[in-house]
């Protein structure tokens, strides 16, 4: 057992894919070597990935895998041997196919083993299979690993053939490969891939390597040799951690409370662009700070891969950090170059901002009629008309339940202007700023902060864990926008399928759910759909059933992710509660009820009652009611008396919103319910008694299942 190092040296790899490529290369190599028996469970895999290399260090790799004993069933004894115990032609043919010498049939058969297989006796051939050598196994593992790499886009390039006949051969890989290292300890493993033959040398940093080529003594010296002789930090994780450390140090040096903006994706991308990072501080003219900081931050991150610096209050400063791939003694040229490059970008942002403010958002509304939203649902102008109608309807519902009357006006204004920033130069250049720029331009137009924030926030929540809109107007417009999308696309049959959701309908549904739940809005799902569906006229079919199912499916999944059990979620959502804001309280009540000692028996009884009512004649159950005069058995009389005492109290607690106490009050019915099923025959022969008992159970069932369907808690 020795440690193995494999490196593929290539031209600059796509930075956004580098991390995954490095992990996949190392993981696939290790997986294939384990499958061949050359590596084992204690083998530790260390991936390496830099802009110009993919590598893997794997411990405890054998030069040759252990031989394996193979037991192979041939055929039943009755088929393989004749009456005299001699081999049949079928057996001899099978043995010959396995490579057994059958020149002496008696000797060949003597090497077989008989064993019972099922009901009959069978012939088995036992042999030893030689384990794979590392030369052969690593070649196979490399071939498989390269085919399974998550390559975003394959390149084709030509290599000159190394045979006697001159010519070129075509090679397909993510980038042209120029070197291959394969070391088992200090021994080169003679494997070939992509037209390359393995050796023990590689290349370091393009400009700062101390030696070229970098010769590796053994597998374990790879990272250190590259660092010293090649000026390369080969480990992606180490390089990333080094960048984080340097960013923090540089920001602290700039000033107290100053910090580099946090962006994990940008950090990964920059890590994939440099082989040995050096962080430098640069700056731009402070006049550009008049532009909204989101614009400046986005252009610096997206176009230049810079890290903007924020002060202690989170405001953008006129300084930024650059992660350089070189570290000259005098860095002024590098700093100056980066400052010159960023200036035109910031100037463009300032120009767009200044030009956009020359037109009001209201003046852009008519332009939305020229932007196609969907060929079956019309233009963005038509869409925003529908969003306005839905927003006004939601606002009126909220005003009816206590919100201020001005909500209708602010919601209508924000909804009418919410998409107008799509027509601005800034959003045309940076689509990620839609909504954000609308908020700035609304303030520039003299609109209220309430409306400006609503325009900015109406896309929220954009992703899992995103903030919700900051004010009620924003919540109304965000709800209207998402409901219009869901109703419209469901209404024309554009539903998500499998992992395909091109219109992000799952995200829209979760956004609706979060706003209704976390803001605890006094709105029912049915009311919202009734407000949204009519605004489409005859453009869509009624999507109520499918969309309601879709929203409750998303809600169920979200609740399970939050830690609620499937039984708890199923019990609450079985009733399809229309006020989604009540769902967390119902779940908490069910969880508290399930912890009571009476809960299992009551849940089981509830399930039994449900089954009885389902099997009974539907018309009879519908007409069934309770007459105290027909309660003959002491157990049913006791149950009725307990219900008369307990259910009114539980109902009052339910109506007051105290779901947990309501269920705990109902738990007192356990003893009379158990006695009822022990002593009373529900399906009595006398029709009047049977209907009366069904009525009693129906009343009990209705009383017990207003918070949740407790029968779903039964094992």
Determine which of 95-104, 130-139, 346-355, 502-511 has the lowest per-residue pLDDT on average.
Answer: 95-104
* pLDDT at 164 (0 to 100): 57
- pTM exceeds cut of 0.75: yes
Fold classification of 596-713 is: Isoleucyl-tRNA Synthetase; Domain 1 (1.10.730)
395-416 residue pLDDT tens: 999 999 888 899 999 999 999 9
What mean pLDDT is predicted for residues 481-508?
A: 93
Say if CB 643 and CB 571 are below 8 A apart. no
Beta-strand pair 214-215/259-260: unpaired
356-379 residue pLDDT tens: 999 999 999 999 999 999 999 999
Q: Helix, strand, coil shares of the chain as percentages rounded to 5?
A: 55, 15, 30
Would the pLDDT of 445 be above 80? yes
Cis peptide bond prior to 213, omega within 30° of 0: yes
> Residue written as tokens 């554009």?
494
276-304 residue pLDDT tens: 999 999 999 999 999 999 999 999 999 99
What mean pLDDT is predicted for residues 557-578?
A: 94
Q: Write the CB contacts of 85 (distance below 8 Å, at least 6 apart in sequence).
A: 109
- pLDDT higher at 132 or 486: 486
What mean pLDDT is predicted for residues 591-615?
A: 89
Beta-strand pair 68-76/113-117: unpaired
Instruction: Write the DSSP string, 272-333.
Output: TT-SS-EEEEEE--GGGGGS-HHHHHHHHHHHH--EEEE-TTS-EEEEEEEEES---S-THH
pLDDT band, very low/low/confident/very high, at 513 (cuts 50, 70, 90): very high
- pLDDT higher at 497 or 292: 292
């Amino acid at each position: 057992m020795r440690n193995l190092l494999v490196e593929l040296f290539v031209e600059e790899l796509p930075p956004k894919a580098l991390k995954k490529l490095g992990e996949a290369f190392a993981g696939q190599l290790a997986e294939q070597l384990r499958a061949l028996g050359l590596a084992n469970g204690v083998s530790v895999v260390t991936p390496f990935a830099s802009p110009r290399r993919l590598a893997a260090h794997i411990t405890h790799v054998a030069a040759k895998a252990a031989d394996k004993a193979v037991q192979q069933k041939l055929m039943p004894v009755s088929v393989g041997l004749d009456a005299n115990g001699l081999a049949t032609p079928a057996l001899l043919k099978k043995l010959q196919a396995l490579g057994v010498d059958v020149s002496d049939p008696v000797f060949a058969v003597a090497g077989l083993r008989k064993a019972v297989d099922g009901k009959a006796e069978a012939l088995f051939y036992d042999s030893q299979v030689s384990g794979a050598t590392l030369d052969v196994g690593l070649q196979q593992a490399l071939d498989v690993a390269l085919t399974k790499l998550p390559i975003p886009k394959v390149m084709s390039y030509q290599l000159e053939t190394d045979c006697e006949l001159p010519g070129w051969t075509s090679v397909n890989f993510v980038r042209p490969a120029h070197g291959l290292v394969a070391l088992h300890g200090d021994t080169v493993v003679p494997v070939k891939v992509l037209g390359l033959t393995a050796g023990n040398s590689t290349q370091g940093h393009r400009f700062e390597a101390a030696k070229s080529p970098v010769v590796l003594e053994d597998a374990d010296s790879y990272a250190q040799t590259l660092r010293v002789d090649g000026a390369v930090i080969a480990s992606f994780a180490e390089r990333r951690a080094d960048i984080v450390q340097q960013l923090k140090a540089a920001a602290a040096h700039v000033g107290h409370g100053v910090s580099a903006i946090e962006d994990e994706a940008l950090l990964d991308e920059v890590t994939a662009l440099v082989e040995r990072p050096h962080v430098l501080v640069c700056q731009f003219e402070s006049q550009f700070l008049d532009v909204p900081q989101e614009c400046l931050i986005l252009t610096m991150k997206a176009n230049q891969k810079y890290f903007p610096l924020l002060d202690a209050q989170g405001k953008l400063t006129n300084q930024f950090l650059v992660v350089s791939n070189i570290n000259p003694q005098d860095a002024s040229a590098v700093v100056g170059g980066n400052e010159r490059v960023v200036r035109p970008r910031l100037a463009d942002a300032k120009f767009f901002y200044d030009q956009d403010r020359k037109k009001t958002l209201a003046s852009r509304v008519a332009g939305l009629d020229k932007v196609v939203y969907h060929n079956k649902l019309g233009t963005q102008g038509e869409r925003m008309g529908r969003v306005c109608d839905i927003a006004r309807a939601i606002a009126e519902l909220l005003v009816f339940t206590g919100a201020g009357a001005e909500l209708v006006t602010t919601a209508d204004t924000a909804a009418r202007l919410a998409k107008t920033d799509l027509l601005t130069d800034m959003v045309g250049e940076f689509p990620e700023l839609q909504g954000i720029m609308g908020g700035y331009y609304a303030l520039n137009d003299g609109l209220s902060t309430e409306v400006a924030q609503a325009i900015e926030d109406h896309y929220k929540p954009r992703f899992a864990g995103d903030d919700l809109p900051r004010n009620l107007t924003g919540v109304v417009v965000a709800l209207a926008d998402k409901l219009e999308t869901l109703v419209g696309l469901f209404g024309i049959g554009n539903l998500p399928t499998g992992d395909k959701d091109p219109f992000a309908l799952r995200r829209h549904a979760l956004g609706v759910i979060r706003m209704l739940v976390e803001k605890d809005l006094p709105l029912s799902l049915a009311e919202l759909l009734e407000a949204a569906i009519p605004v489409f006229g005859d453009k869509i079919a009624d999507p109520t059933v499918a969309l309601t199912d879709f929203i409750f499916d998303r809600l169920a999944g979200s609740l399970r992710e939050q830690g609620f059990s499937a039984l708890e979620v199923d019990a609450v959502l079985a009733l399809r509660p229309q006020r989604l804001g009540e769902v967390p309280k119902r779940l908490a009540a069910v969880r508290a009820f399930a912890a009571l000692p009476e809960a299992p028996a009551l849940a089981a009884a509830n399930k039994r009652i449900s089954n009885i009512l389902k099997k009974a004649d539907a018309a009879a159950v519908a007409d069934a009611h309770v007459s105290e005069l027909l309660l003959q058995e002491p157990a049913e009389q006791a149950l009725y008396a307990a219900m008369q005492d307990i259910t009114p109290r539980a109902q009052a607690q339910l109506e007051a919103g105290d779901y947990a106490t309501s269920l705990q009050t109902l738990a007192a019915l356990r003893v009379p319910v158990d006695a009822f099923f022990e002593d009373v025959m529900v399906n009595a022969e006398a029709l009047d008694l049977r209907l009366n008992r069904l009525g009693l159970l129906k009343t009990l069932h209705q009383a017990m299942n207003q918070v949740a369907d407790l029968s779903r808690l039964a094992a």
